[in-house]
Amino acid sequence: MWTRIFITFAVLLPVVTASAGEAPERSETWKKANVDAPFEIALVSNPSTGYEWQIDTTASSGLEHIDIDDLGTSPPPQRGGEPLIGAPVIHSWLVTPHKTGSVQLVLSYLRLPEEASEKTHVFHVEISD
């Protein structure tokens, strides 16, 4: 009987948590960069869950100061020569500053076509000569 009650709570808890309207997890990084000195940014991702990182161009600012090349995700880790399904990978972008100024690059972790993000990471970049 206790097992049955525990399983019921375990199944209902994610529904209650999800419907509570919690704000997405937010993290930030500050970086100083120089014009024409590319740097890489990388975030943990798990595309097997349907989630992926997207640049939020409406929340970002100063994007005219940089070029961004999406390098994609790293291969998943392997065990016995087989990829581990569901294991996290690294999603990377190469950012090349080409003009001095400030950039706020906002990346949202979401499941397409949903609009609500699970996580947000903001990169604050100050570019100088």
pLDDT tens for 35-73 read 999 999 999 999 888 899 999 999 999 999 999 999 999
Q: Give the Cα separation of 90 and 71 in Å (integer).
A: 10
pLDDT tens for 66-123 read 999 999 999 988 899 888 888 899 999 999 999 999 999 999 999 888 778 889 999 9
Q: Give the Cα separation of 93 and 114 in Å (integer).
A: 23
Write down the pLDDT at residue 108.
95
Give, in degrees to the nearest 5, the angle at Cα 63 between 62 and 68.
Answer: 150
Residues facing 96 on adjacent strands:
67
Q: Which residue, chain included where needed, has tokens 């790293």?
A: 74
User: Where do the domains of the chain lie, and which CATH numbers do they carry?
Assistant: 24-128 (2.60.40.2020)
